[in-house]
Amino acid sequence: MVQAGDDLAALLVASGVIPRPDDVLVVAQKIVSKAEGREVQLSSVTPSPRAEQLAQETGKDARIVELILQESVRVVRARPNLIIVQHRLGHTMANAGIDQSNVSDSSDERALLLPVNPDASAVALSAQLGCPVIISDSFGRAWRRGTVGVAIGCAGLPSLVDLRGKPDLFGRELHVTLTGFADEIAAAAGLLMGQAAEGQPAVLVRGLRWSAPAFPATELVRPAQEDLFR
């Protein structure tokens, strides 16, 4: 159980994580947020009039709604028990990534926010552990059911691999293919992490190869000028 202020790198090493320089360590956002003190006592939150109104429309706790609004730049859609927002980090996601599952065993009076800067968090862990690091979270996807692991922080490896200009199997040049390399790794790690009571917040990935330069996870966010649905 990670607490605010814990040395996450030391905890991982103590648990048996001994990475090689060419390994990739995938770490769940939840333990990063906990170590960075991103847990909020709901009793300290005062809902704004806008949060109160949106809480009535969605049936959500007005204090949670207030946190969602504080962490977001715009509300995209809302329906009962769900608010889709554009997070301050750029991600379009449910409930601004604010979660109460696996946060505390005492009550529902706490909520966990995303790290302030997940890429910076990944850089710090990577420097301490001596290997590339991905910070993963579970996202739903438009037009598809189910959640999958995605990279919200990345250090030491390319979040995107640009295959434009490369030939396909028959020599035809690729023109639009960008591979979400870090997302693919995060999704694979999610098979072992699970999303319920597995208690497996870190997965060491061994044997990957890449030649592209390192890019942070912010590169995975689609720029507004490429957004055909806004």
Q: Does the pLDDT at position 105 exceed 90?
A: no
107 and 129, same structural domain? no
Q: How many domains does the chain have?
A: 2
225 lies in some domain: no
Average pLDDT for 114-125: 98
Please list, in sequence order, all residues whose beta carbon lies within 8 angstroms of the beta carbon of residue 81, skipping any fewer than 6 positions away: 58, 59, 60
Share of the chain above pLDDT 70, in %: 97
Please tell me the predicted confidence (pLDDT) of residue 194: 84
64 and 80, same structural domain? yes
Average pLDDT for 45-66: 96
Average pLDDT for 176-183: 94
Please tell me the predicted confidence (pLDDT) of residue 101: 73
Please tell me the predicted confidence (pLDDT) of residue 125: 97
Query: Higher pLDDT residue, 117 or 230?
Result: 117
- What's the pLDDT band for 107 if we cut at 50, 70, 90? low
Q: Which amino acid is at 10?
A: A
| E strands present in the chain | 24-28, 39-41, 72-79, 82-87, 92-94, 110-112, 133-141, 144-155, 161-162, 178-179, 202-205
Q: For residue 54, what is the domain's CATH number?
A: 3.90.1660.10
71 and 16, same structural domain? no
Q: Does the pLDDT at position 182 exceed 90?
A: yes
Please tell me the predicted confidence (pLDDT) of residue 71: 97
Average pLDDT for 114-133: 97
pTM for this one?
A: 0.93
Out of 58, 84, 113, a domain closes at 113
Out of 69, 92, 113, a domain closes at 113
